[in-house]
Amino acid sequence: MTSPVDALGARAAALDAEHAGSDLRHLFDLPEGVYLAGNSLGALPRAVPVRLEAVMREQWGAEAVSAWNTRGWWHVPRRVGDRIGALVGAGAGQVVAGDSTSVALFQVFRAAARLRPGRRTVVTDPGSFPTDLYVLQGVAADVGWQVVLAEPHEVPAALDAHGEDVALLALSHVDYRTGELWDLEGLTAAAREVGALAAWDLCHSVGAVPVQLDEAGVDLAVGCTYKYLNGGPGSPAFTYVARRHHDAFEPAVRGWHGHAQPFAMRREHEPAPGIDRVRIGTPPLLSMLALEAALEVFDAVPIEVVRERSLSLTSFLLDCLDALVPEVELVTPRAPGRRGSQVSVRHAEAFGIVRALAARGVVGDYREPGIARFGIAAPYVTHSDVLATATELRRVLDTGEHLADVEAEGPVT
């Protein structure tokens, strides 16, 4: 009689064969074991060290300051922005890369207040990533907004209740804890019905889920690049401003790279035309060029194919957990259309589970309260990896390894 593990193993092999065309592991230097923390920090694309070596020796080393012109360094934020824009359904000239997600959030929130003067309400999800909430709270205090908390399914009612007083709807496309994918198009339309702007955090969807910012009528968006875009630790964020808002977008932080004539060195700020007005100061060029190299992964496979592979992987992980570890509580939606690219489970000893799995070579991460996350970076995760994760989780629970008194290795969980 075939065991459940054997049956799942046969399925994993068949699914890996079916999706062989989108298996891009050869483009990455992967850690040993199973790496399921790509929703926190993506793996290293092999093109990145090669590109950085060339940049340091041939550009910075050989050409030094001349490389701003000869190598087009000045235009990298726009160049990288357009590459990201292609992944999020944004036409050219609407995305710029640089700064951090926190800075990008501050810029778009403050600009939203100026774009909707006289309105005094902002609606956001209380389950948003803490940075989003912190930045929004600060901006609200500065501009006199009241913050209305509403989970995404409550947003239409909240918008109806506050009507034309709503300046901004600020949401995340994917819930960072549960992996739930929210209705970007529908909620953006609901904001537009009351004349509000819609700003989206794409940190947990860009590079994993197709996004259609232009088509959906989104006004503003930000996202990080070190998760599914594999840009490296601390790689720069990006900002999307719909073209229709360019002339009226007023950045709160006004740096010289966002000036219409930066090298005129004028005392008064004059915003650059188009998306360049979002730029602030000198970008971290090495990180920007590393990110540009990392984005070449997506030249090998369309984002729609990445999504197809991701859904197959997450669906199979759900099946493996059902069959082998039914006692864990699934918090990620089962419906494919409501799922990002991670599977999260809740358990009283979730932190211990994550640490015990890491000791067995399966790397996920932990988030309060009591959630173990398994991020599926589809280009380099296989169905066999997914089965190994569930199998090792079964062994951890059976042996009680998750109950050991394990301290965190450091502040990052």
Catalytic positions are: 129, 201, 226-227, 373
DSSP string, 386-406: HHHHHHHHHHHHHHTGGGS--
CB atoms within 10 A of CB 60: 18
Residue 139 burial (10 A CB sphere; 0-12, 13-18, 19+): buried
CB distance 240 to 90 below 8 Å: yes
Q: Are 113 and 139 in contact (CB under 8 A)?
A: yes
What's the half-sphere exposure (Cβ side, CA atoms, 13 Å) at 275?
27
What length is written for the chain?
413
- What's the distance, Cα to Cα, between the start and end of the chain in Å? 41
Place of tokens 């039914």: 326
Pairing assessment for the beta strands 146-149 and 121-124 based on DSSP bridges: parallel
